[in-house]
Each structure stands twice: as structure tokens, then as C-alpha cells.
Amino acid sequence: MIFQQLLNGLVTGSTYALFALGFTLIFGVLHVLNLAHGAVFMVGAFVGLYAVTVAGLSLPPALLAAMLAGGLASVAVDWLALRPLRRRGSSEFAAIISSLGIAQVLMSAGQAVSQTQIMRFPFGTFPVVVFQFWGLRLSLLQIVIVALSLILSLALLAFLFWSGFGRQIRAVAISEKTSSLLGIRPGAVYFQTFFISGALAGAAGVVIGLAFNSVHFLMGEPYLLRAFVVIVLGGLGSIGGALIGGLLLGIVQTFTVSYLSSALSDAIIYSLLFSILLVRPSGLFGKLHIETRVRRA
């Protein structure tokens, strides 16, 4: 029973990590919380669903369509809500409020499109395959969720640290002004960073919509709050920290619900958060990415 709950916790934590990857990427570069990320996640889920139900696409091309839509929606969020504020040198708080405003616009659009209904992927969109071994039960979809979280995290880390454009992203994160003097175009960096973040959110929207067989206009809001806990736990701006923090959060939540009470879940999660921050204010892996918190010149 304990090992089964551990598996369930890893799957739940992987969904949190999938959502948090793009969220922490934006924070690491712009040093602001993009509160529209949950709405972008919702857009990706809607596009993936309609690609299957209306366009008749199979899951792989529907997933690609959701990632493209999420990326474009994220870029639109930057151009409409954040880029004008950056040009004026506005505070980070103004950017947070602006992103919250455009999130409400996107959610209102999703509410109108769905007519406030919970929608579901058709049966058979993803094959229902269940594996049983050593008394444990694990579905193919759960395996895909865990594997996708790990693969995307490693791919994003490799991109940021082993590619030329990744080095440009880290340079802009340290100082936009200095990177401009070195010939880096911050506008191009922001465009591609937001697109990558939105594409990750779109993929997460489809996968999580399949996992819980539920797509609705408010689906991103609970994940947005959990993602905030994840990135603080793992270390602000840390991609690896987002993965570990998400898995840890999922395991703690699953064991709390299974062996204590669902009513205590949030209390224990936030108590864990406070305890870790008392010992490590920068999060579990904050020191690995301390360069991203140097303020722009």
C-alpha cells in the first residue's frame, strides 16, 4: 500500500512539475510571477481537446497544436501585458497585476467558448493500458506523465546550459543592459522564452486534461497556486528544483490524503514550505541558480 501511494504521489507530483516548468522559466528570466500562465495552460488544453473532437486529429498532432497555441498565447501575454511595462521601466508588481488582468480575459474567453461546462476527451483518445506488478497498479498514461516531466526538464536544462541561445537567456536574466552591450537582442530572447514557456504549458494542459479527463476554463487556477509552492520549494528560477519540488509536493499531498485527512493536505504542504524556507530561504536548489537573481543593471 505504501509503495502504491508513493507511485501515485510521483504521478501527481509530475503533473505539478509539468505545469511549473514554464512558470519557473519566466520567473528565472524576467524575475516576475506570470499569473497568466494558468490561463495559457487552459488555452493549450482547449486547443488539444478541440483538435481531437472537432478537427478529428489523433493525439500526437493535437498535442503539437496545443503546444503551438500555448506558445503563441504566451507570446501574446508578453506583448500585451508585460512588454509595454518593461519599456516604461515599471515595477515588477505592475507586471504581476497586468498578467493577472490578461489571465482574466483569457479565462473569460474560455468560459464563453465552453459555456461554463466541463469537457472531456473522447474515450480511446489515449489507450487504456494498465500494468500490474508486485501488487502495484500503474497505467500507461501515468508512465507517460512521469516520463514527460523528466524528459522536458532534462531537455530544458540542456537547452539553457549547453546551447548558444540558452546562454543568451541566462545573460539577459542577469542583466538586460549588459547583454545588449554584448550584442544580444533581449527582445528576441523574451519572444523565444515566452514561446517555450507557453509550449510547455500547452503540453501540460493536454496531458493533465487526459489524466483527469476534465477540461474547463478554471483548470489552471489550482495548478497556479501549487506551481508557486513548487518554485519556492525548489528554488526560484531553478528548472531542476521545479521537478524535484513538484515530485516532493505530490508525494506529501498523496500520503497526507491517504493516511491522514484531505482537510489537512494544504496545512501540511504549507507547513513543509515554511520549514524548508526557514532552513534554506533560497529553496532547495536556489544556490545552483543564484545568478538568475542578480538584478538588472
Domain count, the chain: 1
CATH number at residue 224: 1.10.3470
Q: State which amino acid sits at residue 155.
A: A
Residue-wise pLDDT for 63-122, tens only, equals 999 999 999 999 999 999 888 888 887 778 888 899 999 999 999 999 999 999 999 999
Residue-wise pLDDT for 50-65, tens only, equals 999 998 899 999 999 9
| Cβ(229)–Cβ(269) below 8 Å | yes
Residue 79 lies in a domain: yes
Residue 104 lies in a domain: yes
Residue 231 lies in a domain: yes
Residue 130 lies in a domain: no
CA dist 82 and 135 (Å) reads 51
Residue 127 lies in a domain: no
| Cβ(76)–Cβ(106) below 8 Å | no
Residue 128 lies in a domain: no
pTM of the model: 0.88
8-state DSSP, 295: P
Domain interval for residue 240: 2-121+136-293
